[in-house]
Amino acid sequence: MVPPTLTRRQQEIHEYLREHLDDFPHPPTLDELCDALGLSSRGSLHKQIQALIEAGLVEPMNNLRRGIRLVEEDMPPMGDSDALPLYGYIAAGRPIEAIRNPEMIDVPAQLRSSKPCYVLEVRGDSMIEEGILDGDWVVIEHRDQARNGEIVVALVDGEEATLKRLEAKSGEVVLHPANSSLAAMHYSPERVQVQGVLVGQMRRYH
């Protein structure tokens, strides 16, 4: 998915981030980035970053400090428009963005959405009654919002990524497994971060 046309300045900033983000000991604050870019207005920079976030090039930083991170997305090099990155295992105990240099996997257009997607390999039986088995590949649309009833990749306390059905009530978020031997888990909303929504699934038998 080629992002909606970036302005030239946005391309420049994106390029700068790709080349210099690792130079900082921590992800920089907006003020530090302003300094590095020669800007003097935090608000202006924020607007540009916002555009990059909407284009799917930068991770959404929901009020987090030093939250500027690039989206891992080696865009398939032309022609291979059906290949998506395999980021690793779901329910493997760490945030998905941690995985680098992902393997690429072909995904038919019918199994993905028009938005940026990625692939995870399922570990465990927590969704077995939905027909999602250990070892399956799931296609995830990258977004941070989901509706009730959707199956999402949820990051709890920034540490553990799991695949569960989402139910957001007033004051709490419930993650429902699809396995009668497992209980639903209840969290306060700020502990749960949606990283994507299930749009497809694949399995191989040989």
- Of 113, 105, 103, nearest to 84 by C-alpha is 105
Q: Give the β-pairing of 117-122 and 83-90.
A: parallel
Sign of CA pseudo-dihedral 183, 187, 193, 199: positive
Identify which of residues 40 and 81 has a Cβ nearer to DNA in the complex: 40
**126 in catalytic set:** yes
Interacting partner of 190 out of DNA, its own copies, none (Cβ under 5 to 8 A depending on kind): DNA
**41 in catalytic set:** no
Choose, from 40, 47, 114, 164, the residue flagged as catalytic.
164
Interacting partner of 20 out of DNA, its own copies, none (Cβ under 5 to 8 A depending on kind): none
Say whether 96 sits in a helix, a strand or coil. helix
Which residues contact its own copies by CB under 8 A? 5, 7-8, 11, 26, 64-67, 82, 105-111, 113, 128, 131-133, 136, 151, 198-206
Choose, from 44, 81, 113, 126, the residue flagged as catalytic.
126
Which residues contact DNA by CB under 7 A? 7-10, 29-31, 34, 39-44, 46-50, 61-68, 190
Q: Rounded distance, CA 196 to CA 173, Å? A: 16
Q: How far is the CB of 189 from its own copies (least distance, A)?
A: 24
Cα–Cα separations (whole angstroms), residue 50 to 14, 43, 82, 125, 138: 11, 10, 27, 38, 28
Interacting partner of 148 out of DNA, its own copies, none (Cβ under 5 to 8 A depending on kind): none
- Of 108, 129, 116, nearest to 201 by C-alpha is 108
Active-site residue numbers? 126, 164
